[in-house]
Amino acid sequence: MFSPKFVLKDVTSYACSNIELVICTNFKKIETCLPANKKIFESLNNLSSLSYNIHFFCNETNPGSGVLIKNGVPLKLESKMIKHILSDDLLICSFNGETIIQNLITGDMNKILPNKLFTFIIVNNFLYSCNAGVITKVELSKKLVDWQINLNDKKLTDCIQFIGEYRNELWILAKGGMFVNIDSTTGTVKGLIKNILQENIHGPIELFVKDNEGNRSPDDRNFYHLDQQKGKIIGESAKGIWEIDLTRPEPYLEVWGMEDQYNLHGLHDIGYKTVLQGDDLYFIDFNALKWGVIDVNNKKLKWVSEKITNAVTQLKEIQVAGNRAHILDGTKTLHVFEKLSA
């Protein structure tokens, strides 16, 4: 299904679009590798992980300045850490301990939060963020807070991941492996899912996280995706595919055990970092040094790579764009694979 295309050394972070691949080497130098090799920026300070939405960007970790890359040209924003790109000219940044919207044309800065931005998601024109267990909704066009809720008041501690919004319900993964749905209009917690019923478990699955009450929940270190088209939350945990059907009158959680299939390919732990594209869930197995694809529609392993033999420690990250898959290993080597034609 995929074949190796090339390997890059000394890569400390990377980001990709369908066309471009940009890497940071040795925490200092940024360059494009696709569609052509070109040095873009070199810093005297260490650079944080590269990101991509609309354009590529990263931040200097000390003293804390953003580097925006537009069409291969770097723009440094002194003392502002870039968090998200809203448009060609509008950025969300951290500045002096606050969160602002920066206008690159006028230079205007508008405060939207009194704190730095950590865990967050942007849906349409709204920013949802979590800081110390407090979730805040901000209407970005008006730069105003719409509502706030304290998860501690609901006997929840923190938001691990914003999964997405579906039919005016915001779904989050709370600490401890609980799925929580919040009315995105009012900020009211509508319900939570913290246990999978035995009758909703299909196939062999053993590695559950259990709380003091014996509830079986997913690992909160794993990543979950919202498929807007199907109206489902999908992820991998405890050697199984977890799926919440949001189209029913009440959210309905099922789990399909994949352990037998994993064992055939020597797979052990794959759920932490995944990428969902259509029906394909791309994964890496950190310690088995393999990666592959699960058909989440049929709950079958679609393809598993050979062991990446020169990844002597473990695999760290996977990103998929266009017909390419990119795997970063623990030796700072980036492995680029290309999808074979059918």
DSSP β-bridge partners for residue 295: 280, 300
The Cα 66–Cα 61 span in angstroms is 9
pTM of the model: 0.93
Q: Could you tell me if 194 and 217 are in contact, meaning their C-beta atoms sit under 8 angstroms apart?
A: yes
- Computed on alpha carbons and rounded to an integer, the radius of gyration of the chain in Å comes to 21
The Cα 115–Cα 95 span in angstroms is 9
The Cα 163–Cα 160 span in angstroms is 9
Residue 220: predicted pLDDT:
73
Residue 197: predicted pLDDT:
80
How remote is the C-alpha of 198 from its chain's centroid? 29
Q: Could you tell me if 267 and 281 are in contact, meaning their C-beta atoms sit under 8 angstroms apart?
A: no
Largest CA distance in the chain: 59
Q: How many DSSP H helices and E strands does the chain contain?
A: 1, 35
Q: Could you tell me if 11 and 24 are in contact, meaning their C-beta atoms sit under 8 angstroms apart?
A: yes
Q: Could you tell me if 211 and 194 are in contact, meaning their C-beta atoms sit under 8 angstroms apart?
A: yes
The Cα 74–Cα 232 span in angstroms is 39
Q: Which amino acid makes up residue 256? A: W
Strand order in the sheet with 55-60: 51-53, 55-60, 65-70, 73-77
Residues of the chain scoring pLDDT < 50: none
Q: Could you tell me if 294 and 301 are in contact, meaning their C-beta atoms sit under 8 angstroms apart?
A: yes
Nearest to 271 by CA among 305, 221, 232, 317: 221
Q: Phi/psi of residue 207, each to 5°?
A: -85, 65
DSSP β-bridge partners for residue 276: 281
DSSP state of 200: G
- Residue pLDDT, tens place only, 49-85: 999 999 999 999 877 899 999 989 999 999 999 999 9
Q: Could you tell me if 202 and 256 are in contact, meaning their C-beta atoms sit under 8 angstroms apart?
A: yes
DSSP state of 26: T
Q: Could you tell me if 190 and 182 are in contact, meaning their C-beta atoms sit under 8 angstroms apart?
A: yes
Q: Could you tell me if 68 and 34 are in contact, meaning their C-beta atoms sit under 8 angstroms apart?
A: no
Q: Could you tell me if 251 and 232 are in contact, meaning their C-beta atoms sit under 8 angstroms apart?
A: no
Domains of the chain in sequence order:
121-194 (2.40.10.480), 195-307 (2.40.10.480)
Residue at token pair 């999978």: 196
DSSP state of 331: T
